[in-house]
Structure 1
Amino acid sequence: MPSDIFELLPNLVAFNYERHYEPLFINQNWVLINGISEKKATYVFKDDNILSIQDDDVVSETSWTISFHNIFSIETTDGLITVKAYFKDKDVLVLEHQDKEDYALFINEDKVEDGINSIDDVTRFLKAKYEKKVKEVIHKHEFYYIDNFKEFGPYTAKELVEKVKSNALSVYCFIRDINDHDYSKRLRIKDLLYS
């Protein structure tokens, strides 16, 4: 995989021992997404610097250490590699290879109801996760609305939808994002109903 992970996955957070080690990282079942279409590989970073890797039914152990902040050293069959660790949310881990333009993407299988066994499972998980996140963001976001040539607000999307449900507002009222200066985008409350 080509690197430049920050373009592919914006808002990555560097591994922080105090915040990530115990609750999110250690003793979790991290499924490697790279190559999952050929075989499933699950990585478990354990205490005492043991890395357990399960490729299908074969389990092997190797070692890993935190070298500095978010830089890890991992013993592989190809020798010692150095990676930088990042989180994308609480259940997506990225290890960026430091000696070549490559990275490994992992999903914490412990956070997935039906497990991760295929690309379809990955797609389903990420789609559901980010659709839910977008809906939460939209419903908390604030908008102004215009009714009878007067502007009101700001109101959250959720509040506007409630006003429509109670017949206090028309679904066809124009709205503008709090960051917009006018109504040129021609958004209406009904546009929020499908978000």
Structure 2
Amino acid sequence: MNDYLHNTIPNLKPFNYEHHHDALFINKPWVLVNGISKKKSVYTFKEDNILEISRKNNVITTSWSINIQNVLSIETEDGKITVSAFFKDDDILVLNNQSKEEFAMYINATNYEDDINSVEDIQAFLKDKYKKKVSTIIYDHEFYYIEKSEEFGPFKVEVLAEKVNSGEISAFCFVRDVNEHDYSNRMRIEDLLHEL
């Protein structure tokens, strides 16, 4: 069953009680992605094994538990289900059904300014989230650039931006990440600056 999940959503981190339970999992409003186009559901896993499922003006209180292998049992309207929990990122939770090839994905939008009520809202959330992540990675990373067949660097993007602004180099110079061996991806300084 896990192959199905990991092929669909790569790079998942298994739920780790010490790392995830208190800091990321408990008392957080998890918006269910599956079926959001029909109705919005928010799951809040509370202490004392209480699970609140909110839909519009309706709140259902049920229960959940976790065993020593970090497998959750959840009591739902459809009966009891057993799931393995994974995190894609700190604010994306995936619960993989232990007995079927199906999973539920949730978003914790606590640190997101807008409400998530539709597929379009989810797309906007993910775009914003990963744009910030890419900007952070690019900002902290170093790159080589090539000009007139000579390679220079490595430099952080802010240094490259200063060189472009001062006219020392062209924004159209090709760059490569310090971990790449050549310039085959055809990325230019200008491309990096657009992501910041």
- The TM-score, its normalising length taken from structure 2, stands at 0.89
Matches within 5 A, 1:32-71: 32-71=32-71
* Offset of residue 132 of structure 1: 1.5
Q: SS of the counterpart of 2:107?
A: strand
Distance 1:101 1:186 in 2: 40
Distance 1:46 1:180 in 2: 45
Amino acid in structure 2 at the alignment position of 1:57: N
2:194 is equivalent to residue 194 of structure 1: yes
Give the direction of change, closer, same or farther, for the CA distance of 1:115–1:184 in structure 2 (3 Å limit).
Answer: closer
2:81 is equivalent to residue 81 of structure 1: yes
Distance 1:91 1:46 in 2: 17
Q: Deviations over 1:32-70 (max 9, x none)?
A: 111111111111111110111112211111111001333
Q: SS of the counterpart of 1:6?
A: helix
Which is further off, 33-42 or 132-141?
Answer: 132-141
* Offset of residue 121 of structure 1: 1.1
Distance 1:184 1:26 in 2: 45
* Offset of residue 189 of structure 1: 1.8
Amino acid in structure 1 at the alignment position of 2:98: Q
- The TM-score, its normalising length taken from structure 1, stands at 0.90
Matches within 5 A, 1:75-114: 75-114=75-114
Which residue of the partner structure matches residue 144 of structure 1? 144
Q: Are the counterparts in 2 of residues 33 and 104 from structure 1 also a CA contact under 8 Å?
A: yes
Which is further off, 143-152 or 130-139?
Answer: 143-152
* Offset of residue 118 of structure 1: 1.2
2:166 is equivalent to residue 179 of structure 1: no
Which residue of the partner structure matches residue 21 of structure 2? 21
Distance 1:159 1:103 in 2: 44
Amino acid in structure 2 at the alignment position of 1:164: V
Amino acid in structure 2 at the alignment position of 1:66: I
Q: SS of the counterpart of 2:110?
A: helix
* Offset of residue 148 of structure 1: 4.2
Q: Which runs of no fewer than 5 residues in structure 2 stay unpaired?
A: none
Which residue of the partner structure matches residue 155 of structure 1? 155
Q: Which runs of no fewer than 5 residues in structure 1 stay unpaired?
A: none
Amino acid in structure 1 at the alignment position of 2:136: E
Superposed CA RMSD: 1.8
Distance 2:84 2:175 in 1: 43
Q: SS of the counterpart of 2:42?
A: strand
Distance 1:57 1:20 in 2: 29
Q: SS of the counterpart of 1:38?
A: coil
Amino acid in structure 1 at the alignment position of 2:14: A
Q: Deviations over 1:93-116 (max 9, x none)?
A: 110000000001111132222221
Work out the percentage of aligned pairs sharing the same amino acid.
54
Amino acid in structure 1 at the alignment position of 2:83: V
